[in-house]
Structure 1
Amino acid sequence: MRDKPWLLLVVIYLLPCQSWAVEPVSRDQAVTAMKQAATYYREQVASHGGYVYYYSPDLLQRWGEGPATADQIWVQPPGTPTVGMAYLRAYRATGDRFYLEAATDTAKALVYGQLRSGGWTNCIDFDPHGKRLAEYRNGHGAGKNYSSLDDGQTQSAILFLMHVDEALQFKNEAIHESVQVALTSLLEAQFPCGAFPQVWQAPVSEQPVKRANYPDYDWRTEGRIKEYWNYYTLNDNVCGYVAEVLIAAHRIYGDAKYLEALKQLGDFLILAQMPASQQGWAQQYNYQMQPIWARAFEPPGVSGDESQETISTLMVIAEATGETKYLQPLPPALAYLERSLLPNGQLARYYELQTNRPLYMTRRGKSYQLTYDDTKLPSHYGWKTESRLPELKAEFQRVLNGTARRVSAVDAEKAGSVVEQLDEKGRWLTTFDGEPLVGQPKFASGEKYLSSQVFSQNLELLSRYVEQLAN
């Protein structure tokens, strides 16, 4: 008799679908997987209590923003504070003090690398002769003293340390002092208008409070400022990360000065909205509240990405303060971005001042030239960004209605899949498939690596799952 392959297909089709599904895991299975993964990461991966972005499976190679030594840890997410927050989440979910101790180790690593100016830079180097040393408060470092708000560096460190301080009931003197120094320096870095610079070394100078306006000079050829980082900054969600810190500081320490600083930040974002017909926001402003150049490929312009981030931040501030004035800039801003969508539904990173034409750059060597043509864009920068307008509009409506934000449940099969992916050593290994990665490591296609972001996300997901089962 001839084989009947169609019969096999029928049998397969009729089998219950759940036979291929990942089995949901029990609380005990999830807790066991969490402990196995966290033990490996704390005992085998950590260096001086801290972490970088990626590791080779044998742990001999490490990467942050470029290759890292065994004595270097990264502050910028998804580095040390990101892993520390995952430990804290696991502690809250399980009550296991192992995670609090792991988080405390991580906090101590950050305390070591706090700068004399009160904040952090993207990396901490424990090697007294290391190439990435900075001027640490503890006197062990040397070099630069730039506390940075870029990409959430200082903000993520403060946020994590505050939560550790709270979990330790404010009894660890070194951690508590570090937090207080950091928060004081952060408030001293706020300009009278409510803005923050990208970096600081000392308290910022007094500057006049003004409303956003267009440059009164030829911005294409004039107005370039070498130390743009000392001016009002929105780039890379500086304000959103700062708002998160101020809200948490007010909740944890109960001091009204943090709420006032948050309101000042919101007031600045209202002032920074560009005039009618272009009611978005720029990446960077001078003290006259005019958009300015940053890096050679970052021209003055209204930014699609930073405008979306600012809309989100204003909604967060409105909810935290209960003041609806922070919502007033949003309808014209949303309408402006809707009008500015590119034919493919994305937003340009830059729109030319006043004309609103999408603005790009070409590159030859180290030289950049402005262009309206998007066919030959340098690959190292995000010249276009995904539109989040539907989500922003829905969130705006939720805030207007005063309804609580919905927290989605953890899918049991997803939790089971995360547990199943853990290998016998307690590692979540990732296979590189060409996806863009923070720090832009040069992995080969198919290469396996350990990721602090994946570890943190998986540990947090299982923590949420464990809490979910307890309710």
Structure 2
Amino acid sequence: MKHLLLGLVLLHSPFAAAQSLTQSDATDVLHKVIDFYRSKVGYEGAYLYRYAADFSAQEGEEPATRTSGWTEPPGTPFVGEAHLKAWRLSGDKACLDAAVEVADALVRSQLESGGWSSSFELGAAGRGRYAYRVDGASRGKRNYTTFDDNKSQSAVTLLMHVDEALDFQDERIHEAVEYALSHMLASQYPNGAWPQQFSEPPDPAQFPVLKASYPKTWSRTYPKKNYVGYYTLNDSNMSRIIDMLLEANRIYDRDDCFQAAQKTGDFFLLAQMPEPQPGWAQQYNRDMHPAWARKFEPASITGGESQTVMRSLLKLYEYTGKEKFIETLPAAIDYYRRSLLPDGRLARFYELQTNRPLYFTVDYKLTDSDADMPTHYAFKVGSKLDSLERQLNKLQKSVAAGDRPEFQPSRPVKLTASVEKKAQQAIDQLDDRGAWVESGKMKHQPERLPVIDMRTYAKNLEAIAAFVGAGPPRRAVCVVGR
């Protein structure tokens, strides 16, 4: 049986049934948990995905050093957002302090190009390879900002949220945001698209504004070309950029960010393929032809990222009221409905013009059979077409009525039995140190082992913080005769 922190008893013990968790006790637990994760799990505000419970190993997307952080969720920015949410729910300064520490780690790891790499180093031994702004003349040469997998987008969004929480009084954080936004805006292509990675702004003369079209021929064999400068929709990169830009506009009233978000929507319209496949590819070359990226990402029409593109176009319509962002959505939804697989899902890839579903064998040979697929990648994706169509119909009515999105900040919840129960369950699962330990797998270890996972931390931290800051419930009203 696990020991509870600070003298609290287990909920399932005979004594616990007669006791109620107090907000004061939960606050003590909250402080101990945050202190443990800040001092023992993270490194000066840098966080990875998961750690061996004994700290013998740690990893982000791959094994990492003890002094490194990862930018892709659930890495450093994800943990910072969890701390901010806990602060908004609880009002406890310890949560805000933890978020500020994360923001400081991101300031220290911001590249000269303006954004962040997949991972970063805070330890002296590993920093020399990267062009970190704060390192001045001693900085290294690796200077590629990446938008892949919501990395730089989540980093600058966390910095913006911390800047806002501090009333824009921390000059170092505020300046890092300004630097990131200005350099990211400069990296946008003339047609409104964005690269997967960049180190400097593009030369506009090299990137003509064209409508998407089919190439005369396309290779069924991986061409091994550098794709980081392609117009990249893969992993919802541009949709995440739109979210980041809209948030920058909300926080700083920056019209340049709002216009850049709309320009990305204009690219989505350019990138929609003509008949017979009015959908989208995962990436395009500068000729606006669907192109290969990695060895399992062929030139094709995608049933995956296309749905996120449609969701972003709906969001831009909601924010702007401009009909152009939704005019071609019915044709796209109809096309993808015709492309559904027998099980109701969509293929990740459809062959250009023939619309045959495409897959790969485990040794990465392109095929139209799904009998021998690798397991690391989703070659079939769920259909959100019904949801998209419902949202389109709903927005057409609300936008016509003049409605626009309103910011809804997180607020303390009402104190209910359910809120208390979730907090108590989270506390019951803690070990003596103040850690949530579970069985999991790590890349260095073929067998399952006890791990500390940052997604679990975020979920359970929220549960405790919600209880700490919960207010009295609304009084029930008894109506006679009912």
TM-score range relative to shorter protein = 0.7 to 0.9
Q: Distance in 2 between matches of 1:53 and 1:348?
A: 29
Q: Give the C-alpha shift of residue 105 in structure 1.
A: 1.1
Match of 2:119 among 120, 123, 126: 123
Q: Distance in 2 between matches of 1:279 and 1:469?
A: 51
TM score, norm. by length of structure 2: 0.84
Question: Could you tell me the percent identity over the aligned residues?
Answer: 40
Kindly tell me: are residues 332 and 29 of structure 1, through their superposed partners in 2, closer, same or farther at Cα, counting changes over 3 Å? Answer: farther
Specify the SS of the correspondent of 1:212: coil
Alignment map for 1:53-92 (pairs within 5 Å): 53-92=49-88
Q: Distance in 2 between matches of 1:392 and 1:454?
A: 30
Alignment map for 1:163-312 (pairs within 5 Å): 163-206=161-204, 207-220=207-220, 224=223, 226-312=225-311
Q: Distance in 2 between matches of 1:350 and 1:452?
A: 32
Match of 2:367 among 362, 371, 382: 371
Q: Give the C-alpha shift of residue 310 in structure 1.
A: 0.9
2:113 maps to a residue whose letter is: S
Can you give the 5+ residue segments of structure 2 that lack an aligned partner in the other structure? 1-15, 474-482
CA contact (8 A) 1:231 1:287 kept: yes
Alignment map for 1:335-374 (pairs within 5 Å): 335-364=334-363, 368-374=364-370
Match of 1:6 in 2: none
* 1:197-230 residue CA offsets vs partner (Å, 9 max, x unmatched): 00000012212211111112334369x4622110
Specify the SS of the correspondent of 1:55: strand
Deviates more, 1:84-93 or 1:456-465: 456-465
Can you give the 5+ residue segments of structure 1 that lack an aligned partner in the other structure? 1-19, 435-439
Q: Distance in 2 between matches of 1:331 and 1:24?
A: 54
Q: Distance in 2 between matches of 1:358 and 1:470?
A: 55
Kindly tell me: are residues 415 and 285 of structure 1, through their superposed partners in 2, closer, same or farther at Cα, counting changes over 3 Å? Answer: same
Let me know the Cα RMSD of the aligned residues: 2.9
Q: Distance in 1 between matches of 2:224 and 2:62?
A: 27
Q: Distance in 1 between matches of 2:368 and 2:83?
A: 47
2:459 maps to a residue whose letter is: Q
1:454 lines up with 2:456 in the alignment:
yes
Specify the SS of the correspondent of 1:373: coil
Q: Distance in 1 between matches of 2:331 and 2:462?
A: 37
Match of 1:44 in 2: 40
Specify the SS of the correspondent of 1:262: helix
1:460 maps to a residue whose letter is: E
Q: Distance in 1 between matches of 2:124 and 2:290?
A: 40
2:303 maps to a residue whose letter is: G
Kindly tell me: are residues 468 and 304 of structure 1, through their superposed partners in 2, closer, same or farther at Cα, counting changes over 3 Å? Answer: farther
Q: Give the C-alpha shift of residue 236 in structure 1.
A: 0.3
Q: Distance in 1 between matches of 2:40 and 2:310?
A: 41
2:92 maps to a residue whose letter is: D
Match of 1:8 in 2: none
* 1:295-329 residue CA offsets vs partner (Å, 9 max, x unmatched): 12210111111111111221222222232321223
Q: Give the C-alpha shift of residue 255 in structure 1.
A: 1.6
Deviates more, 1:43-52 or 1:422-431: 422-431
Deviates more, 1:355-364 or 1:108-117: 355-364
Q: Distance in 2 between matches of 1:322 and 1:102?
A: 39
Kindly tell me: are residues 125 and 133 of structure 1, through their superposed partners in 2, closer, same or farther at Cα, counting changes over 3 Å? Answer: farther
CA contact (8 A) 1:90 1:459 kept: yes
1:333 maps to a residue whose letter is: A
Kindly tell me: are residues 443 and 388 of structure 1, through their superposed partners in 2, closer, same or farther at Cα, counting changes over 3 Å? Answer: farther
